[in-house]
Structure 1
Amino acid sequence: MVTWPWQRERRPVRTLRVRSRGDFGDVRRVDFEELAPDIDTYLGQAAYLQLGYFETLSQLIAPTPELSHKESLSRAAGAALLKHRELVEVIRSRGDDPLDIMLPFREPLDAFRRATHGARPLETMLSVHITAGMLDDFYLALSASYGATGNRVAQILTADDDRQALVKIITDAIAADEEWRDLLSLWGRRLVGDTLLIARGALRPQTLDAAEEKRVEPVFTDLLAGHSRRMAAIGLDA
């Protein structure tokens, strides 16, 4: 069983807020405290996730026959790598070693990436689009808890991710063969549980009680709503 870094030591508490994508001014504060992770956990997870998305997308390029699809995958992979590098620079600017900050999350996040890797390339493309979208939203919601550093992270995460290129490949495949619709709808629904576990695991070590669950609910309601919008935009049932 993996012991997450925040389960080993009690860190200073943070306040979690929800902000709209691209909005770095007014934010809607969610009424709960002591739930946001320490900043090393926040930055380490965010940076390593982007590196994982780069690796996953890069691995899809070689076996993909169509040149246009190779180019689309390379753009999405490049965008993930750029975000990773910029998050690494945020870590360095704080005087920390990025490898030290990311290393505690390598094992659990690699396990997450394996669990959400599809048997077919289209499933894996959908995995990246859905899980990266949900977790970007989650880290944006957390960003208001970390002052200027959080603002920098929010700006990085809201930059162009080029994942619409993946959506185009998926929608073209569905248009050519309707059997993909049901298969990918089912796969997309499966991704939700694994992704929410990553988000929930980052909040705090203890199991949430009923009152804390109620205070957390708006954040996860927003994540699920974003998931439904992404699935609907592809023509899939969420």
Structure 2
Amino acid sequence: MVNWQFWKRRTPARILRLRPRGELSDAVRVEFPELAPDVRTYLGQAAYLQLGYFETLTRLIRATPDLAEKEALSLAAGAALRKHLALLAEIREEDADPAELMEPFREPLDAFRRATVGARPRETMLTVHITAGLLDDFYLALASGYGERGRRVARILRADNDRRQLAELLTETIRGDEEWRALLSLWARRLVGDTLLVARGALLLDGDGRGEAARAVEPVFTALMAAHARRMDALGLAS
């Protein structure tokens, strides 16, 4: 399994709070010790994640002959690119070089994408829907610790992801074929583990991650999984 603990060398600089957003419960509001990275580190990874979604989706466009599917993929790819470019603008507001801030995350996040790409286009579509949903929620939770910069990033992450048509394609496949339902349900469960490792790797947890700080973050991951379960239910899959 790929080791996603690639922020451990960074110095914690922010308080992490989980604020409500869309699918997240309005009752969730969690604070815990300083486990989040400095704002430049945060922006660098958030920007590279969006670039990764864009790259995965554009590869699917090239590999998909159906025009309706190309449209669905193009909408989602365009939304990811817009978010990526908006995050690059925030990095430049920090008087930083976007490429320099993203570079530390290229190797581990490319490894994550390779580990979660599907053998078939529908699996890869589900990969984007599941992993982007979980990680966008997580980085939105992190954003609340960065003051005005975080509020601007939150607005970027809350922007329409244009994945509705993608979700509709997946739903049609699942409803029309029990074998696909079983396969995609299994695939989604495999995706969650690696995706949560990426999120945990963004936090500075001591040792093996089972200390007091680790226990403090559990409500955040509980909320993320509740939102994930609702996304799965909407597709017609069991989480």
Return the TM-score normalized by structure 1: 0.93
Percent identity at matched positions?
63
Runs of 4 or more consecutive aligned structure 1 residues displaced over 4 Å after TM superposition:
1-5, 26-29
- CA distance in 1: counterparts of 2:55 and 2:177, whole angstroms: 28
Corresponding position of 1:190: 190
Amino acid at match of 1:76: A
- Give yes or no for the alignment of 1:212 onto 2:187: no
Deviation digits for residues 145-192 of structure 1 (CA, Å, limit 9, x no counterpart): 000110011000000101111111111122332211010000001111
Aligned pairs (5 A) from 1:150-161: 150-161=150-161
Equivalents in 1 of 2:82, 2:230: separation in Å? 26
Contact 1:36 1:204 in 2 (8 A): yes
1:27 CA drift (Å)? 9.4
Question: SS at the partner of 1:56?
Answer: helix
**Aligned twin of 2:109:** 109
Letter in 1 for 2:140: L
Q: Report if the CA contact (8 A) 2:13-2:38 is conserved.
A: yes
Partner of 2:134: 134
Tell me the distance in 2 between the aligned counterparts of 1:28 and 1:171. Answer: 29
Paired with 1:107 and 1:205, the residues of 2 have a C-alpha distance of 21
Give aligned pairs, total.
235
| Deviations 1:20-39 (CA, angstroms, capped at 9, x unpaired) | 116xxx99652411211221
1:6 is displaced (CA, Å) by: 3.1
User: For residues 1-238 of structure 1, what are the structure 2 equivalents within 5 Å?
Assistant: 6-9=7-10, 11-21=11-21, 29-204=29-204, 206-207=206-207, 208-238=209-239
Q: Which runs of 5+ in 2 are unaligned?
A: none
Q: Where does structure 1 lack aligned partners over 5 or more consecutive residues?
A: none
| Matched letter for residue 220 of structure 2 | V
Q: Is this contact kept in 2: 1:17–1:27, CA < 8 A?
A: no
TM-score normalised to structure 2 length: 0.92
- What is the letter of the counterpart of residue 160 of structure 1? D
Higher deviation after alignment, 92-101 or 29-38 = 29-38
SS in structure 2 at match of 1:35: strand
How far is 1:2 from its partner?
6.4
Residue 49 (structure 1) shift: 0.4
Contact 1:73 1:166 in 2 (8 A): yes
TM-aligned CA deviation for residue 200 of structure 1: 0.3
- Report the more deviating stretch, 32-41 or 224-233: 32-41
Deviations along 1:30-52, one digit per CA (max 9) or x if unpaired, are 24112112212211111000000
The residue identity in structure 2 corresponding to 1:235 is G
* Distance change in 2, residues 1:41/1:27 (3 Å): farther
Work out whether residues 18 and 27 of structure 1, in 8 Å CA contact, stay in contact via their aligned partners in 2.
no
RMSD: 2.0
Q: Secondary structure at the match of 1:118?
A: coil
SS at 2:144 equivalent: helix
2:149 partner amino acid:
T
Distance 1:74 1:147 in 2: 33
Paired AA for residue 218 in structure 1: P
Please give the secondary structure, in 1, of the residue aligned with 2:63: coil
In 2: Cα distance, 1:12 partner to 1:37 partner:
5
